Amino acid sequence: MKAGPILALVLLVLIAGAAGYYYLYRFYGIQSTTSPSTSCPPGQVLINGACINDCMNGATNPPSCDSSVQCTDPGGINNHVYHPARLTLVKSCITASGIVDRVLTETDGDLHVRLRLDPAYSNLTNNANDQYQYGDLVVEIICV
């Protein structure tokens, strides 16, 4: 038996193993048990053992990471909400992140975006979200 095919097979197994480890590490955050386990606060990621601000959140064209940017609540926003009296403003101008679970087109033409919140923002939903929206936060774009 020639050594060439055996060497090629061993090399293929090593490459597949390295690719599998990279895939798990890159896409699922799974790290080797030999590395120290460190977690970062929400909005930061662990890179080479240090927590750094994560402004990308997986976006292809992310916004700049400028902590000096302040949230502004446009004046008169309720003028653009259908029957605003049915809604209660709990807190204005907050941040949440998550994954879009589903986008629904309503009969009035609006889009309801069901957002599966990241764990750090799970306090923004309640039993009604669990019962009627599969636990998701419903987000709607308001034309201003």
Residue 48 CA to residue 107 CA, distance in Å, equals: 49
Three-state DSSP at 37 gives: coil
Where exactly are the structural domains of the chain? 1-33, 38-69, 77-140
From first to last of the 144 residues of the chain, give the pLDDT tens digit: 565 566 556 555 566 555 565 555 555 544 444 444 456 766 666 666 666 666 655 555 555 565 555 666 666 777 777 788 887 777 777 888 889 999 998 887 888 899 999 988 899 999 999 999 999 999 887 765
For the whole model, what pTM was predicted? 0.49
The burial of 5, by beta-carbon neighbours within 10 Å (0-12 exposed, 13-18 middle, 19 or more buried), is given as: exposed
| Helices (H) then strands (E): counts for the chain | 2, 5
